[in-house]
Amino acid sequence: MIHKDLPFIDLHRHLDGSIRLETILDLGRNHNLPLPSFNIEELRPHVQVVTPQPGVMEFIAKFKWMVGVLVDYDACRRVAFENVVDAEKEGIDYIELRFSPWFMSKPHNLDPAGVVASIVEGLEEARKTTQTKVNLIGIISRTFGPEIGLLELKALLSYKNDLVGLDLAGDEANFPPSLFKEHFLAGRDAGWNVTVHAGEAAGAESVWQSILLLGATRIGHAVRIDEDPKLIDYMLDNHIGIEANLTSNFQTSTVPDLSKHPLKSWLGKGLLATINTDDPGISNIDLPHEFNIAAKLAGLNNSLTRLAQKNALEIAFLSKDEKEQLKKGYGEGKLMV
């Protein structure tokens, strides 16, 4: 259930994994791209997960045409704008959209800094016509290695005042957080908050490094933290947030079944866990689906979904005044089914 006495928030959504199928078709036609099909239903299995993938990197392969249609800066601007419009349609009050400018620029050799500028412009346009509050998180894509990561960081720092956080995503199993300590020191010096993808394709040590070496105050996915009880205690004592992604974790085979997802246990222990979408364009879901359907399959009752919503407001990359402003206007105890 979605609780209307609290803001409806998505803290973990990849902008480049949230592109409309219609937009992929439109850009494909306009730019004569070799899409696998120009029929939306025939295109769907090439872009969206139909059956669980054997791992995270196989899931990421579904991004091929999500980023493959980003032929120019107008396309980047368009998908950023549409992300916010779609979030508003979902009833989302506040969303943090994250993106990797290197990953988005690579298919058509765009300038990563130009990609960042276009994303910023798209969000500014959306803010004029929507009510959803939105902030940006920049991603360093670990898959390309630490040297490319420095170039990506440079592009993000060119617009440092337009971002609220820095993330590390991609091939966690082969590129540990320790390789990116310098990058995140610079990010924290820029005034950014830190969230890191960890505990998904690698174990508890990846989460420890993300917190102790990179300065993460939030962890994306975190599915494997139960491997180390001391890590659980540390995260409780230091108020480290968790950006859980239920459907995504099932689709990447990180959990074998939603009933086995640790989110229920985390919330019961008092961890600051939340419910998010990850890549709704690839997973073919939205945030209401995650609350109304996926959360039930994961064993959450109304009390626990409310707690997840409350946690999202607590760990959002917002100032205290912004959080108070966001809370205004909500009725007590109502549910949005």
Query: Active-site residue among 200, 243, 290, 332?
Result: 200
Q: How many CB atoms lie within 10 A of CB 256?
A: 11
Q: Cβ distance 186 to 210 under 8 Å?
A: no
Q: What value does the mean pLDDT take over residues 293-297?
A: 98
Instruction: Tell me, yes or no, if the pTM score tops 0.75.
Output: yes
Percentage of residues of the chain with pLDDT beyond 70: 97
**Can you give the pLDDT at residue 328?**
86
**Can you give the pLDDT at residue 330?**
67
Residue 331 has pLDDT above 90, yes or no: no
Residue 110 has pLDDT above 60, yes or no: yes
Q: Cβ distance 261 to 296 under 8 Å?
A: no
Least confident of 86-100, 180-194, 251-265, 322-336: 322-336
Scored b (16 or more CB within 10 A) or e, 197-206 reads: bbbbbbbbbb
Active site residue 147: no
Residue 337 has pLDDT above 50, yes or no: no
pLDDT band at 253; cut points 50, 70, 90: very high
Reported as a single tens digit per residue, the pLDDT across 32-63 is 999 999 999 999 999 999 889 989 989 998 89
